[in-house]
A and B are shown apart, each in its own frame.
Chain A
Amino acid sequence: MADCGFILAAFTAPVEIGTTPSSMLWMFPLLAAIALVYKATKMRVLFTKKYLQQSALLFLSVSGFMFMAIAVLNLLSWLITS
């Protein structure tokens, strides 16, 4: 019972996450969830291996696009400020 209260109490205060570049890593679990749900709704038949492969491919594609967007934005800000 005490454990249950302890677990519930963990949801009443935010965890410590600084406004640092590494906090951007929180986007990856989100991207993984989006890839898994999208493929689960999109694929006609869910064969386990194919589903995992396609989800991983989508996750990597979106992650790659995010990295490219980060690089382009950094380049733009460097060009503007230098």
Chain B
Amino acid sequence: MADQPTNNRLPLEQGLWLITVALAAWMIPGAGHFLIRERKRGVILFAVITTLFVIGLYVGSIGVVDWVGGRIWFYAQVLYSPAVGLIGNVTKHGGYPVYGRPADIGQIYTGIAGLLNLLCVLSAVYMAYCGRGEMIGHEEEEDNG
């Protein structure tokens, strides 16, 4: 049986809240979980996904973000954050070398980072819908000591 929403917000307020959580989670990985008081989860997600994305850019160069020549990859990469669009704007004229195995690894790392962030956006929205952060935040805080 699906979880039912446990908070007492009005439907419109609830909808706006879910949109806010989704946008926050998209703009900064982990921010959606942070908003719903799942702080530990938010910090872990931010650290892991950002590290993956930065490694991808380092290995393949920022040229792997290419919305002209690699549009399908770009759709996956931009799920990491709208800021990826700025990188795409810088690299759209070419000029950054991208080739061989480093390009493959860079595209895979940055693309997977974006898709993992999509998973986090969905997770944050679902948790916000269920009011889970408010319910179990205390249990985690006790574990943290």
- Interface on A for B, CB 8 Å cutoff? 10-19, 23, 26, 29-30, 33-34, 36-38, 40-41, 44-48
Contact = CB atoms under 8 A, between A and B. Distances in A.
25 contacts: A10-B58, A11-B58, A12-B61, A12-B62, A12-B96, A13-B61, A13-B97, A14-B98, A14-B99, A17-B100, A17-B105, A33-B49, A33-B112, A33-B113, A34-B112, A36-B44, A37-B48, A38-B119, A40-B45, A41-B41, A41-B120, A45-B136, A46-B44, A47-B140, A48-B143
Given A13-B61, A47-B143, A41 B123 contact: yes
Contacts of B120: 37, 41
B106 interface: yes
Interface in B100-121: 100-103, 105-106, 108-109, 112-113, 116, 119-120
Contacts of B102: 14-17
Interface string B55-87: 101111111000000000000000000000000
A11 B57 contact: yes
A46 B57 contact: no
Interface residues of B, number: 40
B112 A30 contact: yes
B51 interface: yes
- Name the residue in A10, A30, A48 with the highest tally of chain B Cβ atoms < 10 Å from its Cβ: A30
Contact of A23 (B101, B116, B119, B140): B101
A29 B55 contact: yes
Nearest to B103: A14
Given A14-B102, A15-B102, A30 B52 contact: yes
B139 interface: yes
B5 to A, nearest CB: 17
A15 B100 contact: no
A45 B144 CA distance: 12
B92 to A, nearest CB: 15
